[in-house]
Amino acid sequence: MTRLLIIGASGLLGINLALKAMHGHEVIGVDRGRLKSTPFRVLQTDLFHTDTIDSIVESTRPDWLVNCAALANLEECEQYPERAQLLNAELPGELAKISAQRRIRFVHISTDAVFDGEKKDLYTEEDEPNPLGIYSRTKLNGERAVQSANSEAIIARVNFYGWSLSGIRSLGELFVNNLSAGKQMNGFTDVVFCPMFVNHTTQILLSMLEKGLNGMYHVVGPQPMSKYHFGIEIARKFGLRESQIDAKSVLSSELTARRARNLQLSTHKLSTDLGYELPRFSTGLDEFYTQYKQGYPQKIRSYQQ
């Protein structure tokens, strides 16, 4: 059975990847003490001490290694740029080096936000990134560190939504939780992205590993939309009130970190190399809703200390 080591197993992507991959693979997660009673093995470490990673890999001897850890809060990255550089750039470089030395298949998770959003067309893997803030700059540094240490690594630029441990990690669950609580939400009409349901992201990452792909890939949804439109789609699916979503410009928000406004990424390379069409947005939304009806958000949260 393939052994998969997931760094950042308590995060939105990490926990969903672990829960999906444990059917058919042996999963070991690494977190810093947030997880409890998970149906997969968990090792604890603080990733600010990157020297512990080598011994974790040595003791677990994985076949596949997926790095889902990051400092992913843009405002926090602006506030603590050294921490962002350590987690988003130096740690991935170290993991890439270790996996190359030990011939472990390595996936590093990056972001759509490496681009500045000025392109009028879809961004391909060939386009030159131009990050706008500390988060995206350190993520780009991470991509480069991985590329130079391990030419066989997969680098996946992602954007996803789903249910998380804290209930506040994805825009999708924020819309559901706030609208359900009768709260008003802002929906940005001038920020366009390509959201993918996280279970599709995890399924695709596993398929990429199984197929032996390597290099840079855009692993996002095939349907671009504004954040406002995304909120409306969620409200409709969950039977919540669309009128609680205010159409706003991101320029009117209090967010401090600079954000790209057009993150439409081409998934042509991914679907060609996988040999199938990526799941449609509506399919992902249906599954997000089905999980909700089946109590999956509560199940995920029960794994939190």
Ligand X SMILES: NC(=O)c1ccc[n+]([C@@H]2O[C@H](COP(=O)([O-])OP(=O)(O)OC[C@H]3O[C@@H](n4cnc5c(N)ncnc54)[C@H](OP(=O)(O)O)[C@@H]3O)[C@@H](O)[C@H]2O)c1
For residues 10-49, which are near ligand X according to CB under 6 A? 10-14, 31-32, 34, 46-48
For the record, the structure tokens of 83 come out as 């921490």
Please count the other Cβ atoms lying within 10 Å of the Cβ belonging to residue 260. Answer: 22
Least Cβ distance, residue 182 to ligand X (angstroms): 26
Q: Which residue, 33 or 215, has its beta carbon nearer to ligand X?
A: 33
**Element of type H or E holding 107:** strand 105-111
Indicate the SS3 state at residue 58: helix
For residues 152-171, which are near ligand X according to CB under 6 A? 158-160, 164, 169-170
Q: Which residue, 46 or 118, has its beta carbon nearer to ligand X?
A: 46
Query: Are the C-beta atoms of 263 and 204 separated by less than 8 Å?
Result: no
Q: Of residues 21, 56, 57, 87, which one binds ligand X by CB under 6 A? A: 87
Residue 199 exposed, middle or buried by CB count within 10 Å (0-12, 13-18, 19+): buried
For residues 91-130, which are near ligand X according to CB under 6 A? 109, 111-112
Classify the C-alpha dihedral 224-225-226-230 as positive or negative: negative
Q: How many residues bind ligand X (CB under 6 A)?
A: 28
Q: Which residue, 87 or 245, has its beta carbon nearer to ligand X?
A: 87
Residues 6+ apart with CB under 8 A from 103: none
Q: Which residue number places its CB atom closest to ligand X?
A: 11
Q: Which residue, 103 or 265, has its beta carbon nearer to ligand X?
A: 265
For residues 168-187, which are near ligand X according to CB under 6 A? 169-170
Rounded distance between C-alpha atoms, residue 128 and residue 137, angstroms: 13
Residues 6+ apart with CB under 8 A from 239: none
Applying CB under 6 A, the span of 68-76, 120-128, 229-237, 272-280 interacting with ligand X comes to 68-76
Indicate the SS3 state at residue 131: coil
Least Cβ distance, residue 92 to ligand X (angstroms): 9
Q: Binding of ligand X at residue 84 (CB under 6 A)?
A: no
Indicate the SS3 state at residue 145: helix
Q: Could you list the residues that contact ligand X (CB under 6 A)?
A: 8, 10-14, 31-32, 34, 46-48, 68-72, 87, 109, 111-112, 139, 158-160, 164, 169-170
